[in-house]
Amino acid sequence: MDAFDRIAARTPDQTRRLVSKMLDVADRIQAILQQKGMTQKDLAVALHKSESEISKWVSGAHNLELKTIIRIEEALGEDILTVTKPQATA
Amino acid sequence: MKNFVTIQPFKTFQRVAYYTFWVEGHERSETDAFFTRFENELALANDLNLLVAWIQEIGQNRGAKNRYFRFENDATALPPPARIMAELGSSYCQFRLYCIRLSDEVVILANGGQKTSQTVQNSPQLMAHFRFANKMAQQLTEMIQSGELVLDGKQIVGLETIELLD
């Protein structure tokens, strides 16, 4: 076991979940852009942001605030996050 | 003096094979030297955990997509580019691990360190590793263009000892 493996073994699940969720959001934004034939520049224009800012959003290391995600959803016309709701009981 | 460098497998995941450089005469590979150097620094443990989690997540589930990597002249670096966010603390991942992304499936990790200033030029600990990664990236690009080095999925075909240019 080398240093990388030892660090991996001690890395908390919370850190892994954080990285995974950030990349999920980034990948979802990128997928919607491709599906709609939009570029990062188009999204930047729609949100009055710089293209470099959008580039950070789709890199997966940007911890986006929920209100920013909502703005992106509005600009793209698609949901980025969906939350499972409990089924109504009779 | 000329240094000879070999490329060796480092870690293989479902989507990405990570390789590393081993400089002749050195005790460890460049990437093992990086992780060994910082492994026991408690103040940097969270940053190092994040970096390892990114490498594993990209390797296992995502593939080495271009946009996950920072551009560092001819080389690249991890972690992915991001604005410093309050939730992660003002010291969010101070590390730069230089690498050379050859495809979505092949990444060669080099060495790195703590980025203590806005520019790499003002981070003396990083500069040597930045230069090394860029020198390797230039040589590998030439080798790929000439057909001397070929990628076959996660494999690098024609792994040779590379002579570092002075």
Residue in A2, A4, A34, A49 to test binding to B, most B beta-carbons within 10 Å: A4
> Which residues of A lie closer than 8 Å to B, measured between beta carbons?
2-4, 6-8, 10-12, 15-16, 18-20, 23, 26-27, 30, 53, 55-56, 58-63
A52-66, B48-62, B84-98, B132-146: the lowest-pLDDT one: B84-98
A84 in a domain, yes or no? no
Question: Rounded to two decimals, what is the model's pTM?
Answer: 0.84
- Residue B81 pLDDT class (50, 70, 90 cuts): low
B88 and A62 within 8 Å at the Cβ level: the answer is no
Task: Tell me the nearest-neighbour CA distance from B38 into chain A, angstroms.
Answer: 9
Chain A touched by B31 (CB under 8 Å): yes
Specify the pLDDT at position A68: 82
3-class secondary-structure state, position B9 = strand
Which residues partner with B97 through β-bridges? Answer: B78, B112
Cβ-based neighbours of B13, under 8 Å, separated by 6 or more: B56, B59, B60
Contact by Cβ (8 Å): B33, B122: no
State the total domains in chain B. Answer: 1
A82 in a domain, yes or no? no
In the predicted model, is pLDDT for residue B166 greater than 80? no
Question: Buried b / exposed e across B67-76, counting CB within 10 Å, b at 16+?
Answer: bbbbebeebb
Specify the pLDDT at position B52: 95
Contact by Cβ (8 Å): B137, B165: no
Specify the pLDDT at position B163: 65
Q: Which amino acid is at A4?
A: F
| Predicted ipTM of the assembly | 0.87
A85 in a domain, yes or no? no
- Domain of residue B146: give its range: 3-159
Average pLDDT over residues A83-87: 82
Specify the pLDDT at position A19: 87
- Residue A51 pLDDT class (50, 70, 90 cuts): confident
Give the domain CATH number at A43: 1.10.260.40
Chain A touched by B10 (CB under 8 Å): yes
A88 in a domain, yes or no? no
More confidently predicted of B164 and B38: B38
CA gap A19, A63 in Å, rounded: 9
B164 in a domain, yes or no? no
| CA B156, B159, B164, B165 torsion-angle sign | negative
Residue of A nearest to B50 (CA): A15
Q: Which of B48, B68, B93 sits opposite A59 (nearest CB)?
A: B68
- Residue B72 pLDDT class (50, 70, 90 cuts): confident
A19 and B53 within 8 Å at the Cβ level: the answer is yes
- Domain of residue A7: give its range: 3-75
Specify the pLDDT at position B119: 75
Residue of A nearest to B86 (CA): A63
Query: What is the distance in angstroms between the CA of the first residue and the CA of the last residue of chain B?
Result: 8
A35-39, A63-67, B151-155: the lowest-pLDDT one: A63-67
Average pLDDT over residues B88-104: 78
Chain A touched by B83 (CB under 8 Å): yes
- Residues B113-157 pLDDT 10s: 987 776 777 777 889 999 999 999 999 998 888 888 889 999 988
Task: Tell me the nearest-neighbour CA distance from A19 into chain B, angstroms.
Answer: 6
- Residues B18-56 pLDDT 10s: 999 999 889 999 999 999 999 999 988 998 999 999 999
Closest CA to B116 of B87, B91, B81: B91
CA gap A69, B160 in Å, rounded: 47
Q: Residue B56 has which token pair?
A: 């594993």
Report CA-CA distances (Å) from B118 to B63, B94, B111, B126.
29, 11, 19, 12
Residue of B nearest to A1 (CA): B32
CA gap B131, A48 in Å, rounded: 37
B165 in a domain, yes or no? no
Q: How would you list the strands of the sheet with B162-163, edge to edge?
A: B70-72, B75-78, B95-101, B106-114, B17-23, B4-12, B162-163
A90 in a domain, yes or no? no
Chain B residues with CB-CB distance to A27 below 8 A: 62
State the total domains in chain A. Answer: 1
